[in-house]
Structures are given as structure tokens and as C-alpha cells.
Amino acid sequence: AQSVSQHNHHVILSEAASLELGCNYSYGGTVNLFWYVQYPGQHLQLLLKYFSGDPLVKGIKGFEAEFIKSKFSFNLRKPSVQWSDTAEYFCAVKAAGNKLTFGGGTRVLVKP
């Protein structure tokens, strides 16, 4: 069975700082990878996804993620965060079927 781990539970940073959230998964086969964001009081929204091809994927709101197969990692990055990026971020892995396995989430607080 696959598992996903997100290294940081909480991240606090100031506006304009760069953000990188780590995500590692364990699964030997082909996977699809996702980052979802949950803004306070809102539902899960898809930030970006990786299915195949270019391992560097760009998502909405200036986010990007890099899939490194050899490291089983799919880290999320944003060069310059804004206060509105305050949210909880979830990394997820999908193998066969449509079962998503989520990491524990990282709460990001951006101070204005």
C-alpha cells in the first residue's frame, strides 16, 4: 500500500519569502501525484498534478512542483508568497483506481 509523508506540519513565513513544501511517497509502481490546497473554511482545491512527461509541473497561483522519481518526491514551490497563500497544503498520490492517499498536510501561515 502506498503512503505519503509531508515533512513539515507548520510553516510560518513572511510575504515575498519563498516557499518549499516537501512530499515523499512510497509506492513502487506508476503513480499520479497531486497537490491540493484548503483555504480557511473552504474545500480542497487542486493546485497542480503530475501524470507523466515533464517532471516540472506548473499549477495555479504561481505554484510549481518537481517530480523526482529516484527520490520518490514531489515537492511544492512558490518563489514569492502572498498573505492569501495562508492555507493548508496536501500532497496526494494515486495509484490504480481513484483512491487518493494523502499526506498529513502542512499548515502555512504567511505574515503580512
Partner 1 sequence: KAGVTQTPRYLIKTRGQQVTLSCSPISGHRSVSWYQQTPGQGLQFLFEYFSETQRNKGNFPGRFSGRQFSNSRSEMNVSTLELGDSALYLCASSLSQGIRGSGNTIYFGEGSWLTVV
Q: Taking the chain, what is the end-to-end CA distance rounded to the nearest angstrom?
A: 41
* Residues in CB range of 97: below 8 A, 6 or more apart: none
Nearest distance, CB of residue 102 and partner 1, angstroms: 4
- Count of positions on this chain that bind partner 1 (CB under 8 A): 27
Q: Which of residues 27-46 bind partner 1 (CB under 8 A)?
A: 30-32, 34, 36, 42-46
For residue 81, CA distances in Å to 4, 16, 19, 41, 95 come to 24, 5, 7, 20, 31
- Taking the least distance from each CB to partner 1, the nearer of 81 and 93 is 93
Site membership for partner 1, residue 51 (CB under 8 A): yes
* Residues in CB range of 52: below 8 A, 6 or more apart: none
- Taking the least distance from each CB to partner 1, the nearer of 38 and 73 is 38
Contact 48, 59 (CB under 8 A): yes
Span of 16-24, 61-69, 78-86, 99-107 interacting with partner 1 by CB under 8 A: 99-107
Nearest distance, CB of residue 106 and partner 1, angstroms: 11
Binding site for partner 1 (CB under 8 A): 30-32, 34, 36, 42-46, 49, 51-52, 90, 92, 94-105
